[in-house]
Chain A
Amino acid sequence: MVQDLLHSSPGLANFGIFFLLATVLLLVILGFVTYGILAERKVLGFMQGRYGPNHLGGRWGLLQTVSDVLKLLLKEDIIPKAADRPLFIIAPVIAFAPSFMVMATIPLTDNLQFADLGIGLLYYVAISGMSVVGFLLGGWASNNKFSLLGGMRAASQMISYEIPLVMSVLGIILLTGSLNLNEIVAAQEGVWFILLQPVAFVVFFIAAVAELNRVPFDLAEAENELVAGFHTEYSGFRWAMFMLAEYVYMFAMASLITVVFLGGWLPLPFLGFIPGAVWFALKFSLVVYILIWFRATFPRIRADKLIEFAWKVLLPVALANIFLTALIKELLELF
């Protein structure tokens, strides 16, 4: 359906349909963020021997995040006197906008995708790289020493980890011969890439956690060292924008891992009667759960070790993986 629309002539009606669809996707993502945060708090509580939210909205705390967001919206908007005002205001937006833009290429099911780009994977990596500018600007514009350190850490970390992230999926691109996410999913009809490319999966997952700024790679906002890193001075809705960006990225990254390694909407054998969207949601939830699990288990890695790990461990492993994949592919074609 979306494909037909994309190829139809531009017009007011089409614009309306796209606008509506975008709004629906926005609501889905915001819904995820709302309940993703709740799930994170509940799962963390479960792992740490406590309850988590259990007052607002019944015993599951279903309205907790909603009220949190409401509180943030109603808070006084504080901009520090010494801050660089225009940059301070624009930084959360720069961090936040790309996180929604990357969602466009993710194929949620075989016919629900907003932009079927030929270079979907490349688009994702390129656009998500823009967010770091927002983090860096936020840290710089706050005119706070802790924030500056946090912003610098964010920049060096995200730039370092983008390289193994891209390198690890090159093996898959070699196997499928395409950067199109739809074709990558279709290529997993027989066997998922997590089985064909386990090394790539591990490297990608680690780099993804680092890209998401989550434990054990949450150095940029290490509250125990840098108070809150780049968003120390942010409060109210501006702070919420940073947090929103972070959780939307979590949504996007979990979707990408599902699509690239876990076969997207494809069902397990003999279970094809369950619709693709359910499969996608299940796999996606599993990835999110593992991310939360990480947070409950790991301490934070040290800044210098973090960079060392990216360049000295992840990158060589990813390169070796590409080499081996190419070699095996050639040999298989030979015989």
Chain B
Amino acid sequence: MIRTEEMLLNVGPQHPSTHGVFRLVLKIDGEIIIEAKPVIGYLHRGTEKLAENLQFTQIIPYTDRMDYISAMTNNYVICHAAETMMNIQVPEKAEYLRILAMELNRVASHLLWWGTFILDFGATSPLLYAFRDREMILNLLNELSGARLTYNYMRVGGVKWDAPEGWLEKVRDFVPYMREELKGYHQLVTGNEIFLNRTKGVGKYSKEDAINYSLSGPNLRSTGVKWDLRKDEPYSIYDRFDFDVVTREDGDAYARYECRLAEVEESLKIIEQAVEQFPQEGEIMAKVPKILKAPKGETFVRIEGARGEIGCYIAGDGKKEPYRLKFRRPSFYNLQILPKLLEGENISNLIAILGAVDIVLGEVDG
């Protein structure tokens, strides 16, 4: 007798489109997904536990490895938390360097996402264009910090290195170049009928769902919620810059795509202004004690990373090491809505939905 049955399909942990060691256990009927179960933890390194035995300066390199696509924001969140806890005033010049580094890194992160997202649809060229432009940012960050991916650039109380000679000019030149490139990106992909077909209306969720699932970053803003910590709870010196919070109403993969590309433009605005306002004189490190001790008590800070809100909670008990360190890792939270989105979709859409969420497995697994 002929009968059909459901099939159990393992997508990952080794799969080209899971963007790392992410595993999805799918129950499929033909190509339709009946049930999806994400399995995570393949890249768990225990950053939070390790940090309990490390001094603050020693923790910073570990944060580089969490969200390795935009490591600068992770550097910043731990420094910011420690500074808030110890009441350290960061010099103005260091703040500008931090902003420049973070925004450049945000652009690099969105570019990488753009390239890989289109690559998931089988188009190879955009990836190489994105990498070509991202390479320029990595070179800039390399000149600044001495590393291309895991920067370890910020310190509690400031930054490690001053901007080298001529660096600001290079950043200034990069902004119009990137704007020009973005036009090309839109020409190549945004209007493409096949691309629209594959993203419009795919992976749609409502405003309420986004808030209930605690989504943040472009994933939240694509549903029309105007929430950006850089604007709503300004940290560092973000209140000095004029930029918009990008929102879209549809909440589908295409809205998230538009959100991210528009965010690149906003970041370029911030970079442009930061270069203009950059103070030539000044310290890059505050006066901080040789050995940093976390005072008794708790602190929680949150900032807007490339993928969403990165939070850092520190509990101190007067020792050199934090008593407990906890990160709110945006990719981990953004991923939680996936099983709900995947139900009833087909396998081609799975790639679009997962890609649009923009996860970094180092961050998901911690």
Contact = CB atoms under 8 A, between A and B. Distances in A.
B9 interface: yes
A223 B347 CA distance: 12
B132 A227 contact: no
B124 A48 contact: yes
Given A49-B128, A49-B132, A227 B194 contact: no
A225 B348 contact: yes
Interface string B318-349: 00000000000000000000000000001111
A302 B195 CA distance: 10
A300 B194 contact: yes
Nearest to A297: B125
Nearest to A222: B122
A224 interface: yes
A105 B177 CA distance: 53
Most chain A beta carbons < 10 A, residue from B16, B188, B195 = B16
A299 B31 contact: no
A218 B16 CA distance: 16
B81 interface: no
A224 B17 contact: yes
A48 B189 CA distance: 14
What is the interface of chain A mostly: helix, strand, loop, or mixed? Answer: helix
Given A224-B17, A302-B348, 8 more contacts: A48-B125, A219-B348, A224-B16, A225-B17, A296-B124, A299-B123, A301-B194, A303-B348
Interface size grouping (class) on chain B: 20 to 34
Contact of B122 (A44, A48, A227, A300): A300
9 contacts: A218-B122, A224-B16, A224-B119, A225-B348, A299-B118, A299-B194, A300-B122, A301-B198, A302-B348
A309 to B, nearest CB: 10
A301 B123 CA distance: 10
A134 B351 CA distance: 27
A216 B347 CA distance: 17
B238 interface: no
B7 A216 contact: no
A333 interface: no
A304 interface: yes
B346 A304 contact: yes
A298 interface: yes
A215 B348 contact: no
Interface string A287-311: 0000000011111111111000000
A50 interface: yes
A223 B194 CA distance: 18
B204 to A, nearest CB: 16
Contacts of A223: 16, 122
B197 interface: yes
Contacts of A145: 7, 9
Contact of A303 (B7, B132, B194, B346): B346
Contact of A49 (B129, B349, B351): B129
Interface in A209-231: 215-216, 218-219, 222-227
B342 to A, nearest CB: 13
B124 A216 contact: no
A44 B348 CA distance: 25
Main secondary structure of the interface of B (DSSP, over half): helix
B192 interface: yes
A-B pairs, 10 with minimum CB distance: A300-B122, A299-B121, A299-B123, A48-B128, A224-B17, A302-B348, A224-B120, A48-B125, A296-B125, A301-B194
Interface of A: 44, 47-50, 145-146, 149, 215-216, 218-219, 222-227, 295-305
B35 to A, nearest CB: 15
B15 interface: yes
B194 A225 contact: no
Nearest to B15: A227
Contacts of B192: 298-299
Contact of A50 (B16, B128, B194, B346): B128
A216 B194 contact: yes
B16 to A, nearest CB: 5
Contacts of A226: 347
B350 interface: yes
Contacts of B7: 145
Contacts of A299: 118, 121-123, 189, 192, 194-195, 198
Nearest to B128: A48
A51 to B, nearest CB: 12
Nearest to A145: B9
A225 B350 contact: yes
Contact of B197 (A222, A224, A305): A305
B283 to A, nearest CB: 41
Contacts of A304: 346, 348
B124 A224 contact: no
A225 B128 contact: no
Interface string B283-323: 00000000000000000000000000000000000000000
Contacts of B350: 225
Contacts of A225: 17, 347-348, 350-351
Given A299-B194, A302-B349, A224 B129 contact: no
A298 to B, nearest CB: 6
Contacts of B189: 299
A304 B194 CA distance: 12
